[in-house]
Structure 1
Amino acid sequence: MLHSLYPKIKPNKIEYLQVGEHTLYVEESGNPEGIPVVYLHGGPGGSSSSDHRRYFNPEKYRIIVFDQRGSGKSTPHAGIINNSTDDLIDDMEEIREYFAISKWLVAGGSWGTTLALAYGIKHSIRVTGFILRGIFLGTDSEVNWLYGSDGAGAIYPDYYQDFIAPVQHQHFSDPVKAFHQLLTSENEIARITAAKAWTLWETRISALLVDKHELDSQEETHGAIAMACIENHYFSNHCFFEPDYLLKNVSKIAHLPAFIIHGRYDMVCQLKQAHLLAEHWQNSQLQIIPKAGHSGFEDAIIDAICQASDKMADFIENQ
């Protein structure tokens, strides 16, 4: 029987932390004396969900979830000024110190895995381990796969036509650049149209069976603008990494335990990236989920993450 999400719980605390001109929305839930874990949402530009805290046993874990710069309930909404990978890493340290946490388990999905790895490489002494779902290594080839007609667009050519409609012929050379022009435009109608198309494309290909409610919620203008503008900002800047930065530096965290979880039919982030990461990480365990795509809320993915969090709790408690 598959492990389901833990029961719904309310946060113990909600904080708004000031970091420069940004304000971060941060939640603490679960056991205040439990094992600290931080969960990193995707995007960049997505947002935290009340279900993210449900991956972890609330009796065993002290669960920290936050909205990254410009995302969700953090402000300024969709802000891309002083919004880089290093800024997000610094924010994590601010949050860790604010809650007086010495070390924490770092978990995340999609872009959250990218940020988790980047954080660990810089602050390995602050990490007890990793749970990573849907690996994205922040490389140009992965971005080209996701937005190119020869990548995911070849698997979903019908949805791809809807995706590129706002940029028309401009997409052929560089769809990310073409969307950037619209997403930074002063034409509000063009901006919103581009944002919805950008966000809907990723949502449509994120699971084997996409929930209609999820499609409707992802088209909601407020969230779509943040997701599209911030993702495009990061991808236009190569995620603020040197080429192959994460793989070249994974040796700095290879001594730490990691569960790597990836759907075999993930069309957003290709399985080969997870396989490559596991090959470079001596203390990792790769679990390929046979009947799953990219979403963190497919049943088999939920099962794998919850099982991993249970095993990691046992490991950390017995150290």
Structure 2
Amino acid sequence: MVLGAVTTGTAAEIAWITESMRRVFPREWDDFAAGIPERHRDLPPAAAYARLFVDPDPTVRAEAARSWCTCEDTHVSLLPGWVPNPRYEDPDFRNVFSRLVSHYWSNDCFLADRPLLAHIDRLDGVPATLLHSRYDVSSPLDIAWDLARSWPTSRLVVLDDAGHGGGSFADEFTAEVGEFGAAHARPLPSSRP
């Protein structure tokens, strides 16, 4: 398999991107936090937003999706030449993306009682390329590094010109998939008798 912008779904990673990111983007994070109504401020941000995304009022859902996606787009803005991603202008994309991500994050990626690294032995023998970017502030490089060190049949490729996407990320990911597929291809079984 080829994995890009690697995360392992830990509670610490979710807290980093939804709470501690204020250390990197204080103004933008304060705007993100301001989108949480008082009645949900006792919840972690992902859980608070997850509630907003199921609010019966479509205006509440739309405003929450815009706030969530603005915050997401900010995380990739450290690279020179960054421009906002046009996909976040599509209200359908914003609604689906933000609801999906917040659902997983508000439920600890459904991994809370079985962290991925604690069960990495299940991937023993499975070849993988982990493609990660040095400037990925959303998912710092140590996450991919630790995963690669724990997964003997994986290979970590670090890009020096990208963040959580951008730069050469898409081209490198496509190339890795092509190389990986060629190296590990198996003939498909014949459908003929």
Normalising to structure 2: TM-score of the pair? Answer: 0.84
Deviations 1:206-260 (A, max 9, x none): 2524333x2x431322111111222222222221224353212221223122111
Q: Deviation per CA, 1:175-220, whole angstroms, max 9, x where unpaired?
A: 12322332221222122111110112112212524333x2x43132
Name segments (4+ residues, structure 1) moved above 4 Å.
168-173
- Tell me, yes or no, if structure 1 residue 252 matches structure 2 residue 137: no
Distance of 2:41 and 2:124 partners within structure 1: 39
Residues 140, 238 of structure 1: 8 Å contact kept: yes
Contact 2:11 2:112 in 1 (8 A): no
Higher strand share goes to which structure?
1
CA shift, 1:311, in A, is 2.5
Gaps of 5+ in 2: 188-193
| 1:184 has 2:54 as partner | yes
Match of 2:24 in 1: 155
Instruction: Report deviation, 1:168.
Output: 5.4
Higher RCO, 1 or 2 (CA under 8 Å, sep at least 6)?
A: 2
Matches within 5 A, 1:191-230: 191-207=61-77, 208=79, 209-212=81-84, 214=85, 216-230=86-100
What amino acid is the match of 1:183? Answer: F
- From the two aligned structures, give the one with the greater helix fraction: 2
> How far apart are the structure 1 equivalents of 2:46 and 2:185?
45
Q: Does 1:307 align with 2:175?
A: yes
**One of 166, 174, 188 as aligned partner of 2:35:** 166
RMSD over aligned CA atoms reads: 2.3
1:267 aligned to 2:137? yes
State yes or no: 1:140 paired with 2:140.
Answer: no
Does the 8 Å contact 1:180/1:232 carry over to 2?
A: yes
Q: How many equivalent residue pairs?
A: 184
Distance 2:134 2:42 in 1: 28
Residue pair 2:7, 2:139 contacting (<8 A) in 1 also: yes
| Aligned residues of 2:130 and 2:155 also touching (Cα < 8 A) | yes
Aligned equivalents of 2:178, 2:45: Cα separation in 1: 41
Cα distance in 2, alignment partners of residues 315 and 168 from structure 1: 51
- Give matches, 1:270-285, under 5 Å: 270-285=140-155
Label 1:154 to 1:310 Cα distance change in 2 as closer, same or farther (>3 A).
Answer: same
Write the distance in 2 (CA, Å) between the matches of 1:186 and 1:313.
45
CA distance in 2, matches of 1:228, 1:318: 37
